[in-house]
């Protein structure tokens, strides 16, 4: 009998004695209360995330608004500069046209002044000739050659000539005759002669003239650019005379 009681006592001693394992008492917590901290953490995380999102959206919206305002300002400035550029171009075109008109006017005035100066000099010479139309006593009257000039023209080989025929005398009659010009040139070592007018059949003794007091004779002729004009001689014929009544020669070289 002792054996079974002893084993029972030892068993009770091990389970409820000093060497028995400690008994822990835990309070039972319902599952809704268990997930409340997790929900709180998730809520805080979501709130923080939403705050960052809203702050970023507001910042981006602010940046977009600033960029839009700057873009609008730059666009307005560009439009204003474009209009100013167009106005400046129009002003420059108008100024250039006005300048061209003024230059053309100045050139025209200069040309008129030059022509008037030449005409004035010519009139002065004519006046001097007119004052000498009546020859002194003992001097024979007749046709005289004045102001014989020959000069190069603008193009190579072109020449212009001019002279003034004056008939002096107290009772000068109408002059009837002709004038002929003879040009002596040298081309490639060969001497040549050109008569003006060149149509010898139509003008056998030159150009016909009819005047009482004075007559200008002007014209031009052309030779080979490599030819050298040595001299020009003027021959004035009166009536049907075979020989020239007056001659005058001017040398160019």
Choose the final residue of a domain: 105, 131, 157.
Answer: 131
Per-residue pLDDT, averaged over 134-158, amounts to 76
**Alpha carbon 180 to chain centroid distance?**
50
The answer to whether residue 19 is domain-embedded is: no
Per-residue pLDDT, averaged over 218-229, amounts to 91
The answer to whether residue 29 is domain-embedded is: no
Choose the final residue of a domain: 94, 111, 131.
Answer: 131
138 band by pLDDT with thresholds 50, 70 and 90:
very low
Among 30-44, 79-93, 187-201, the range of highest mean pLDDT: 79-93
Q: What is the pLDDT of residue 121?
A: 85
Q: What is the pLDDT of residue 232?
A: 92
Least confident of 10-14, 21-25, 224-228: 21-25
Per-residue pLDDT, averaged over 218-241, amounts to 89
pTM as predicted? 0.47
Among 20-24, 51-55, 127-131, 159-163, the range of highest mean pLDDT: 159-163
Choose the final residue of a domain: 98, 131, 164.
Answer: 131
pLDDT tens per residue, range 40-74: 677 677 777 767 676 666 666 666 667 777 888 88
Query: 115 vs 31, which has greater pLDDT?
Result: 115
Q: What is the pLDDT of residue 4?
A: 62
The answer to whether residue 205 is domain-embedded is: yes
pLDDT exceeds cutoff 50 at 202: yes
Q: What is the pLDDT of residue 233?
A: 93
Q: What is the pLDDT of residue 160?
A: 92
The answer to whether residue 18 is domain-embedded is: no
* Domains contained in the chain, number: 2
The answer to whether residue 8 is domain-embedded is: no
pLDDT exceeds cutoff 60 at 140: no
Share of the chain above pLDDT 90, in %: 17
Start-to-end CA span in the chain (Å): 179
Average pLDDT over all residues of the chain:
78
Residue 66 is part of which domain span? 42-131
Domain of residue 159, CATH code: 2.60.40.150
The DSSP line for the chain is -HHHHHHHHHHHHHHHSTTSPPP-------HHHHHHHHHHHHHHHHHHHHHHHHHHHHHHHHHHHHHHHHHHHHHHHHHHHHHHHHHHHHHHHHHHHHHHHHHHHHHHHHHHHHHHHHHHHHHHHHHHHHHTSSPPTTPPP-EEEEEEEEEE-SSTTEEEEEEEEEE--TTPPPEEEEEEEEEEEEETTEEEEEEESS-TTT-TTSEEEEESSEEEEEEEEE--TT-EEEEEEEEEEETT-SS-SEEEEEE--
């Amino acid at each position: 009998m002792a054996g079974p009681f002893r084993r029972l006592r030892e068993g009770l001693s091990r389970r409820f004695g000093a060497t028995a394992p400690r008994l822990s008492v835990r309070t039972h917590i319902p599952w809704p209360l268990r997930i409340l901290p997790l929900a709180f953490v998730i809520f805080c995380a979501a709130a923080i995330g939403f705050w960052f999102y809203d702050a970023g959206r507001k910042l981006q919206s602010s940046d977009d608004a600033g960029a839009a305002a700057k873009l609008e300002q730059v666009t307005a400035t560009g439009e204003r500069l474009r209009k100013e550029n167009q106005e400046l171009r129009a002003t420059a075109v108008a100024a250039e046209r006005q300048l061209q008109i003024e230059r053309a006017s100045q050139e025209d005035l200069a040309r008129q002044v030059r022509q008037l100066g030449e005409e004035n000099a010519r009139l002065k010479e004519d006046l001097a000739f007119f004052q000498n139309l009546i020859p002194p006593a003992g001097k024979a009257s007749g046709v005289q050659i004045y102001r014989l000039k020959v000069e190069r023209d603008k193009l190579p080989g072109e020449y212009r000539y001019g002279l003034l025929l004056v008939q002096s005398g107290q009772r000068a009659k109408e002059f009837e005759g002709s004038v002929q010009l003879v040009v002596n040139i040298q081309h490639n070592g060969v001497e040549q002669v050109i008569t003006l007018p060149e149509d010898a059949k139509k003008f056998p003794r030159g150009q016909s003239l009819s005047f009482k007091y004075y007559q200008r004779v002007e014209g031009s002729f052309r030779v080979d650019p490599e030819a050298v004009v040595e001299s020009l001689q003027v021959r004035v014929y009166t009536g049907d005379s075979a020989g020239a009544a007056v001659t005058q020669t001017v040398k160019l070289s």
